[in-house]
Amino acid sequence: MNIRRLTLPLVAALALSLAACSKEESSGTSSTTATDKAPIAAAEAFDTLAAQGKGFTAGALMSAHTVYVLFDPQCPHCGHLWQSSIPLQGKVRFVWLPVAIMNAKSAPQGAAIMTAANPVETMNAHEQQLLAGQGGMSASASVPPDVLQAIKTNTDLLERLGATSVPFMVSKHQRSGAVITQSGALGTEALAGFLGMGQ
């Protein structure tokens, strides 16, 4: 009985710690070349990502409510967040910014998704393969220099935000307008709550 009481909190803590992928647990490391490494204050995170981040948009393109998601294509938690965001895409504009912190597949897959004719369909197919344990989509290791630089810039932004894992979200709370950040995946209901969406 006492062992069970100790085991349940331990399992719950382990589940929470696995809700994001961190650079420390990945075999690859990012190589960055941007000269600006200054930390980004939380209050400036939204505007900085809007100005400097590059990715693709999913959801309500004309929505005033935008969420920036820094993700690694090799991160299964990012795949879970993608799935959780789908029911909210009718009301929210999600901008997905690929980074490369997990392994050698991260940048090529991020580039393939970004440059696809239909990035949303490509992301759907990729995440289904990734979550099925198939490693995600196959992608050419030859990435155009401008696209590779965009991914490196996104990776720099992630580090400058002080984030240690992905997915990492930056938005403005729908009711208060305050800049909010979240590391790790959330279910659809928790995501709506985080964003301040009324029921």
Q: Over 80: is that where the pLDDT of 28 sits?
A: no
3-state secondary structure of 58: strand
Residue 40 in any domain: the answer is: yes
pTM of the model: 0.84
Give pLDDT, residue 37.
83
pLDDT in tens, 145-172: 999 999 999 999 999 999 999 999 999 9
- Residue 171: give the domain boundaries: 21-195
Rounding to the nearest 10 degrees, give the CA dihedral for residues 65, 20, 23, 6. 150
Residue 94 in any domain: the answer is: yes
Residue 16 in any domain: the answer is: no
Pairing mode, strands 179-183 and 93-98: unpaired
Residue 162 in any domain: the answer is: yes
User: 61-96 b/e with 16+ CB inside 10 Å = b?
Assistant: eeeebbbbbbbbbbbbbbbbbbbbbeebeeebbbbb
CATH classification of the domain holding 161: 3.40.30.10
Structural domains counted in the chain: 1
pLDDT in tens, 98-131: 999 999 999 999 999 999 999 999 999 999 999 9
